[in-house]
Amino acid sequence: MDSIHIILYFISSILFILGIKMLNSPLTARRGNIISFLGMIIAIITTLSYVEYEISSIIYIFSGITTGGILGLIFAKKVQMTSMPQMVAIFNGLGGLASSLIAFSEIIKVNNTISFNLISVSILMSILIGSVTFSGSITGFLKLQSLITGKPILIPLRNYFNLLILLSAIGLMIVSVLYSGNTLIFYTLLGVCLLLGILIVLPIGGADMPVVIALLNSYSGIVAAFTGFIFSNVALIISGSLIGASGLILTRIMTKAMNRSLVNVVLGGFGATATNIDSEASDKNYKSGSSDDIASLLEYSENIIIIPGYGLAVAQAQHSLKELLDVLENQQKNVLFAIHPVAGRMPGHMNVLLAEANIDYELLLDLDQVNEKFSQTDVSIVIGANDVVNPAAKLDKNSPIYGMPILEVEKSKSIVVLKRSMNPGFAGLDNNIFYNEKTLMLFGDAKDSIDSLNKSFKELN
Amino acid sequence: MAMLLGYELIKKIPPTLHTPLMSGTNAISGIVIIGSILVITSSSSLTVNILGFISLVLSSINVFGGFTVTDRMLEMFKKPKKRDKD
């Protein structure tokens, strides 16, 4: 590697930084992404320009990049916007697995002999973090895709158990240095790390998924940095640390939005305490309305705030919602959208869905901007959201979500809740909003409900 | 230092763009693609080459898929050309 290659690597890192920076406004974001991509291309070409080839490696490299590139493009083009969290989880997992495999081949190259030095430690750390990222992301994917339950899966004493596994992973790493040359140790280490990733994510409930995804994203950066130490490669070290850091900060922003510590999220079990509330819920009274009732309520309202939640995403209702927005705006009504930081299954997920439906991002307000507006609001329409509007977060000290900032819909003159049924939401919590005398419930799939609302509205006019 | 830089960068990004931010940074973490190339070119052992090849495929999916899907999302954040009212 000459100094020209190092300079090129630095340029590619600078392009990454610039690209991320340009994500600070929707106007420059797309160009920013292209600049990051350019950085990646420069990094790849730089690498190819200084390594020495055999014919076979050329074949491996080009067929590998082509295969992966085509597969990646197909996934990226086909995925629905509602499935973005799953997509990110999978890509994350692949990155983690790739790093583990790289570390493994390094071990094979040195005939399993490692010693206590930077490279060996980096190899071991790559295996640890890479495989935890991989199995954790895949577990997260399975939860998001509802292939396994999104509810927390609680194993008794799990935290001690996980700690034990982590300690044994570290123990194995030390043993692998002491008894270097033994292949079996590495396989055991790999197995233990994979198990650890699964066990860390299993107890985490659906509502905490945004945090987990952000955290795993950060891991995939950290592991890239460790891979960089194996090869003393600046591009890997700089970009890896950058992604690791940004992931951690995003995780911090998320946990702050939920008023919980990261430790609290990772220790898991959120939402598991709510089972006893369900039985009480069935005794309470709520008013359910028809789409006609709600349409005439909206007819006489001026200021409307819509609170979309995950139910909207599941039902793919974003385009119907846009139709509703158009109808309301045609009647000169002020419509805004309130987006809670943890609405949906990943940070900013709702914004993407609404943007997909061509809803102007300037209508989307976040927590601080919108909460002062509820007192002047005639109708708040809650669509498939629950925890983010649950006043228990402010009032009930025993509630698992106590302390989480919420959207204060109870301040508006009336509330409409579109919901599939009276079953509690993802976190398994009951919500007093539903029994408020200002509240009208409309049951059904979010898309069907909005469509029938649109229909009722058209009949009115 | 990367930590500090990361903080400065991320805190300025509006919540609206957090999903593209995640998929974008995720694509950048596909930089391990370089590691895969280095593995393949540094050895002629078949096992190493196969492992390197697999990791190259995986990280290429991460890189090309990640940037494409981020672009797809950001394309939707264009300002709608006309609004129904002002």
pTM of the model: 0.85
What region does A428 belong to: left with phi over 0, alpha with psi -120 to 50, or beta? left
Confidence (pLDDT) at A337? 92
* Interface contact B26-A349, CB threshold 8 A: no
A192 against B43, higher pLDDT: A192
CA distance A72 to A90: 11
Nearest to A406 by CA among A428, A431, A387: A387
This complex has an ipTM of 0.90
- pLDDT tens track of chain A, all 461 residues? 788 999 999 999 999 999 999 999 888 999 999 999 999 999 999 999 988 888 888 899 999 999 999 999 999 999 988 888 899 999 999 999 999 999 989 888 877 677 778 888 899 999 999 999 999 999 999 988 877 776 666 666 667 777 888 888 888 888 887 777 777 888 888 999 999 999 888 887 766 777 888 889 999 999 999 999 999 999 999 999 999 988 888 888 888 777 777 777 666 544 444 444 444 445 577 888 888 888 888 888 899 999 998 888 888 888 899 999 998 888 888 999 999 877 777 778 888 888 888 888 888 888 888 888 898 999 999 998 887 888 888 887 777 777 788 888 888 999 998 888 776 655 567 788 888 888 888 888 888 889 988 888 888 77
Alpha helices in A148-208 (DSSP H): 158-178, 183-201
Q: Share the mean pLDDT of chain B.
A: 85
Q: Most A CBs within 10 Å: which of B50, B58, B84, as the mutation test of the A interface? A: B58
Distance from CA of B46 to the nearest CA of A (A): 10
Nearest to B25 by CA among A448, A399, A346: A346
CA distance A424 to A32: 41
Q: Does B84 touch chain A (CB under 8 A)?
A: yes
Q: Which of A387, A445, A448, A451 is catalytic?
A: A387
Q: DSSP assignment, residue A288?
A: B
Instruction: Tell me the CB-side half-sphere exposure of residue A434, using CA atoms within 13 A.
Output: 26
Confidence (pLDDT) at A273? 42
Confidence (pLDDT) at A279? 41
Confidence (pLDDT) at A426? 55
